[in-house]
Chains A and B, each alone.
Chain A
Amino acid sequence: MSDTSPFDHRPDPELGRALEEALSAPDDERFARQVMAAADSAFGADALESWWQELTAWARPGLVAAMLLIAAGAFWMGSQMAQRGNGNGTNALGDPLSAADSEQLGVPMLLAGSEAPSVDAVLAVALEY
């Protein structure tokens, strides 16, 4: 070995080379591929699990959003049908729009009375705006 003192605070190149040669294994690239394959198989299940957890976390707000959209769509379709129809059917059901037409539809009308307005009247005003 080299004459470097054991007390030396610098690496001993000769000893280092001898140790490196003795300890080094061939084909680091193949080893890296094996590690990646092991990582894929070890964490594949975890990755699926986290994906499912994420999906579950989004399910509740997604469901609420979908219900709101359906409700809004139903209101919109109802108002479209009411505008296009001849009015017989809606009059028979007591269409709040046609009823409100004759009562000067608007927010002031809702606030004018001493009692709380009906739900139909509020919806009719909302659709008007």
Chain B
Amino acid sequence: MKDAELAALAQAGDRDAFGELVRRHAAQARRLARAILGDPDEADDAAQDGFLAALRSLGRYDPGRPFGPWLLRIVANAASDRRRRRKVRRAEAISPKMHGAEPGPDTVTDRSSFRQAVLAALEKLPERQRLATVLFDVEGYSHKEISEVLGVPIGTVRSDVFHARRTLRTELDAWKDWRESE
């Protein structure tokens, strides 16, 4: 059954249809939220918020358009909201002494796993670039679909993907060189 059909059933109160939509899009939604938030638990909370917000908003979904980008936009908004709230909390809680405690390049290169290196490289990207490259290179969305998710022109998406790739490759190549020299 197509996503649009499931969405119509879910809107009519079919719990199983909504469950199927969640299962189909869980992995993408969790990855996208994690790309924004970093922390896996917080990302799951944000992805869940996104799914619940989507359930509430199913009446506004246009069945003539793909469901994935519509859902991911909601998830991305939920994750960005959490990130903003977290920044506010951190700004309130942080003491002047702790500014110097953030991990520097040395700390990053000391990390042993490639996975951590990728996450660290992602963390250096502006949020929109991060999302653009994850949606393009991981999820396989087109520039046009990504422009709908992010609410920016297609040219901006192309530029974001370009800059994100360049930064990621530079960071990861440096990490590989470092590993090889060890």
Residue ranges of A at the interface with B (Cβ–Cβ < 8 Å): 1, 6-7, 9, 11-12, 15-16, 18-25, 28-29, 31-32, 34-36, 38-40, 42-43, 47
Chain B: residues with CB nearer than 8 A to chain A? 13, 15, 18-19, 22-23, 26-27, 30-31, 34-35, 40, 43-44, 47-48, 51-52, 55, 114-116, 118-119, 122, 133-134, 136-138, 140, 143, 158, 161-163, 165-166, 168-169, 172-173
**A24 touching B31 by the CB < 8 A rule?**
yes
* Shortest distance between the CB of A49 and any CB in chain B (Å): 13
The CA-CA distance from A16 to B133 in the complex, in Å, is: 8
* Bound CA span A101–B43, Å: 87
Q: Give the complex CA separation of A6 and B158 in angstroms.
A: 9
Neighbour of A12 across the interface among B44, B51, B165, CB < 8 A: B165
Contacts of A15 in B (CB 8 A): 133, 137, 165, 168-169
Given contacts A22-B119, A28-B30, 15 further A-B contacts (CB under 8 A): A6-B162, A6-B169, A9-B143, A11-B136, A11-B138, A16-B138, A19-B118, A19-B137, A20-B31, A21-B115, A23-B138, A25-B31, A31-B44, A31-B48, A32-B19
Instruction: Given A1-B173, A35-B52, decide whether A29 and B23 contact each other with a Cβ distance below 8 A.
Output: yes
Choose from A11, A19, A32, A42 the contact partner of B22 (Cβ within 8 Å).
A32
A7's contact among B43, B138, B162, B168, by CB below 8 Å, is which? B162
For B50, the closest partner residue in chain A by CB is A35
Q: Output the least CB separation between A115 and chain B (Å).
A: 59
Closest to A34 in B: B48
